[in-house]
């Protein structure tokens, strides 16, 4: 579900999202501390972080991630199939893989972050998640950076989306996310200071089907 402390002002609604807003938020989410702050805004996801005190060892951040598909995939009937073994860039902005900081293994929880891009409307934003579902449906492996070579690269059977919107995001997108039952959070942004991203806490909590099967008590907070 989408949560915000209040509706965007009429001035904000009239403003377009600027590329610097997207780029700044993308770089923030790529950092382990920024990724943790992101997950704290949606409690079901925060609860599956193995250690809130050790985010660098608990969260693998993959900006604009690549995967290798294991089977043929059709994104739509009008385009050629993605052949088995092909490497493709997922249409999400950041992939977050949860890892046990003690055992140095993945826990199986994978979260796909979708940041609202400049001039992107609801259907295009939602379609990026749908395409991610298709690409990861028949088995895949992550192309991990060298520092994570010790981790198994196999993808999880289930991925969870998180949509990150801006105060300037049109209300119809918030409404659409609510209607689709998809988790979304709103990040304030100071357009005059591209290096500062203030995170505003959200008062609401939404649940995603499937996360009930994850026992967060097994993931101790180091």
What would the 3-class secondary structure string for 132-186 be?
Answer: HHHHCCCCEEECCCHHHCCCCCECCCCEEEEEEECCCCCHHHHHHHHHHCCCEEE
pTM: 0.79
Identify the DSSP state of 117.
Answer: P
In the block, which residue shows the tokens 């990150």? 164
Task: Rank 13-22, 26-35, 212-221 by mean pLDDT and report only the highest.
Answer: 26-35
Interatomic CA distance for residues 90 and 88, integer angstroms: 6
Both tokens of 89, joined, read 């860039």
The Cα–Cα gap between 212 and 207 comes to 8
- Cα 126 from Cα 161, distance rounded (Å): 10
Could you read off the pLDDT of 126-136 as tens digits, one per residue? 999 999 999 99
Express each pLDDT in 22-78 by its tens digit.
999 999 999 999 999 999 999 999 999 999 999 999 999 999 999 999 999 988 888
What is residue 217's predicted lDDT score, i.e. its pLDDT? 42
pLDDT in tens, 157-201: 889 999 999 999 999 999 999 999 999 999 863 434 334 333 333
Both tokens of 118, joined, read 């400049």
Domain definitions of the chain by residue range: 8-200
Task: Supply the pLDDT for residue 144.
Answer: 95
Interatomic CA distance for residues 152 and 105, integer angstroms = 8
CA distance 46 to 51: 10
Residue 32 is predicted with a pLDDT of: 92
Is there a contact between 3 and 203 (Cβ–Cβ < 8 Å)? yes
């Amino acid at each position: 579900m989408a949560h915000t402390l209040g509706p965007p002002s009429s001035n904000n609604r009239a403003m377009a999202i600027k590329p610097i807003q997207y780029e700044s938020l993308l770089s923030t989410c790529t950092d382990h501390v920024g990724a943790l702050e992101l997950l704290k805004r949606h409690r079901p996801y925060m609860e599956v972080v193995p250690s809130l005190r050790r985010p660098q060892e608990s969260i693998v951040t993959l900006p604009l991630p690549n995967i290798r598909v294991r089977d043929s995939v059709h994104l739509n009937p009008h385009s050629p199939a993605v052949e088995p073994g092909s490497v493709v860039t997922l249409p999400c902005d950041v992939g977050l893989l949860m890892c046990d900081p003690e055992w140095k293994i993945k826990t199986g929880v994978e979260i796909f972050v979708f940041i609202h891009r400049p001039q992107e409307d609801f259907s295009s934003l939602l379609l990026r998640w749908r395409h991610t579902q298709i690409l990861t449906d028949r088995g895949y492996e992550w192309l991990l950076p060298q520092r994570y070579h010790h981790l198994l690269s196999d993808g999880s059977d289930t991925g969870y989306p998180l949509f990150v919107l801006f105060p300037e995001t049109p209300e119809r997108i918030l409404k659409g996310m609510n209607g689709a039952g998809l988790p979304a959070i709103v990040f304030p942004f100071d357009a005059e200071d591209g290096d500062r991203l203030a995170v505003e806490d959200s008062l609401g909590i939404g649940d995603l089907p499937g996360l009930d099967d994850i026992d967060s008590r097994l993931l101790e907070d180091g």
